[in-house]
Amino acid sequence: MSIPGPDDVTRVELPNGIVVLARPNFSSQSVVVRGALQVGALCEPREKLGLSQFTAAALVRGTRRFTFDALFEKLESNGASLAFRGHKHTTGFSGQALAEDLPLLLEVFNEAVRFPTFPQDELEKLRAQWLTSLAIRAQDTGEMAALEFDRLLYGDHPYALPDEGFPETVQAITREDVADFHRRCYGARGMIIVVVGALEPQEAVEHVAAVLGDWENPDQPPPPQLPPFTLPNEPLRGDVFIPEKSQCDIVMGSAGPSRRSPDYLPAMLGNTILGRFGMMGRVGKSVREKAGLAYYAYSELQGGYGPAPWVVNAGVAPQNVERAVELIESEIRRFVSEPVTEDELAESKDGIVGSLPLSFERNSGVANALLTIERYGLGLNYYRKFADAVRAITAEQILETARRYLQPDRLVTAVAGSHAKG
């Protein structure tokens, strides 16, 4: 079967807390590695925002055995790759190599994640690149609208803060900060590593155990607990003026269910109808096709460990901002006031269920899926049961879920661009 399940996925927890998942696929000679460490932006002080992502990016800038150039020469000369990225709750990693080179890939991974040296000259190069990307972000209407949306919606909650930090917080990060963050927060406990490709699962597990099985960090803290979150008591609107922009970006919505919530599947299916299916669902039809106001208009349900955004995104000309905002709000109000139609429901279910096998045609798709089910405790049979679970969702469940999360009188709207402020 193309859909992974308990009969073809091996799951082993090593004595030091690393969970290894492996699935064979001998139709190609490569192997894909995906995973996550239990360290993220929630662990960093607010005056050093960006520290988690900065540390993740710095892991490959030099280790006890490899310089930055030597590390990438070792990978690239064998057609392999390895990358790290910090997120809110975790630090993700991804790699790829020929199956016969999995030991080499794991050797480099082990060096980077356990024995980085954080050379000062490389950190300064990284900082310069980081500050450049933040300067570009400040001129990006989509990025700035999303940033303003998070600030308004989440207030004092950690989700209000960007993982990339701000120029002043990135400037404040020292080499000692990076080294201390790595020493304290990086460890094997809670780490997930997924291996998919032309390798027997037990062999993959043995390779991981041989390289990482002795990793211990007694100082590694438990994952931080999210503080409570409550929606704003009234609609909020924020405008970020960026001059000389031909496009304005709109983000409107609220906080959706976590990935582990029973509300997630009804919300996911409803979101498809609201702004994903076909030409971007109801929102796209209303704002883009009928009114001709938007370059794009769609909805997005992010999911995650906590109350991640459930939003409508649109890009419009500056003179069309207020009319587009009105139409988007109208579609959200309709979405929470009446059930979706049976035709919409059937078409969206067919689209979601029909596309599921396609997501498992590549090793990377399977690896991402296995990482998801382990991160959120969904169970190895999650995707085998997925089609039936989607088929069982009713229009009433979607309506009830939408009303819980997309409350029209508590929506947050953020607009960025060269528009007249609303």
Q: State how far the Cα of 208 lies from the Cα of 51, in Å rounded to an integer.
A: 28
Q: State how far the Cα of 400 lies from the Cα of 397, in Å rounded to an integer.
A: 5
pLDDT band at residue 38 using 50, 70 and 90 as cut-offs: very high
Q: Could you give the angle at which helices 120-137 and 175-185 cross, rounded to 10 degrees? A: 90
* CATH code assigned to 39-186: 3.30.830.10
Percent of the chain with pLDDT over 70: 99
pLDDT band at residue 419 using 50, 70 and 90 as cut-offs: confident
Average pLDDT over residues 18-32: 96
Measuring CA to CA, which residue among 411, 410, 412, 414 is closest to residue 239?
A: 414
Q: State how far the Cα of 11 lies from the Cα of 126, in Å rounded to an integer.
A: 36
Which pLDDT score, from 0 to 100, does residue 277 have?
Answer: 75
Each domain of the chain, given as residue ranges in start order, spans 39-186, 236-417
Average pLDDT over residues 107-124: 98
Q: State how far the Cα of 40 lies from the Cα of 42, in Å rounded to an integer.
A: 5
Which pLDDT score, from 0 to 100, does residue 2 have?
Answer: 87
Which pLDDT score, from 0 to 100, does residue 280 have?
Answer: 81
- Residue 55's CB is within 10 A of a number of other CB atoms, namely 27
Average pLDDT over residues 66-87: 97
Q: What is the mean pLDDT of the chain?
A: 96
For 282-292, letters b (16+ CB in 10 Å) and e give bbbbbbbeebe
Q: Is the confidence at residue 117, as pLDDT, over 90?
A: yes
Up-side HSE of residue 217: CA atoms within 13 Å toward CB?
24
Say if residues 54 and 173 touch (Cβ distance below 8 Å): yes
Average pLDDT over residues 23-43: 96
Beta strands in 269-324 (DSSP E): 294-301, 309-316
Q: Compute the C-alpha angle 184/190/194, nearest 5°.
A: 125
Percent of the chain with pLDDT over 90: 97
Q: State how far the Cα of 63 lies from the Cα of 339, in Å rounded to an integer.
A: 57
Average pLDDT over residues 299-312: 96
Given this chain, do its domains 39-186 and 236-417 carry the same CATH topology?
yes
User: Which residues, at least 6 apart from 395, have a Cβ–Cβ distance to it below 8 Å?
Assistant: 339, 340, 341, 342, 345
CATH class as words, domain 236-417: alpha beta
Torsion of CA 336, 340, 346, 352, to 10 degrees: -20
Q: Is the confidence at residue 313, as pLDDT, over 90?
A: yes
- Residue 206's CB is within 10 A of a number of other CB atoms, namely 14
Task: Out of 70-84, 93-107, 275-289, pick the least confident.
Answer: 275-289
Q: State how far the Cα of 130 lies from the Cα of 175, in Å rounded to an integer.
A: 15
Average pLDDT over residues 49-55: 98
Average pLDDT over residues 377-401: 97
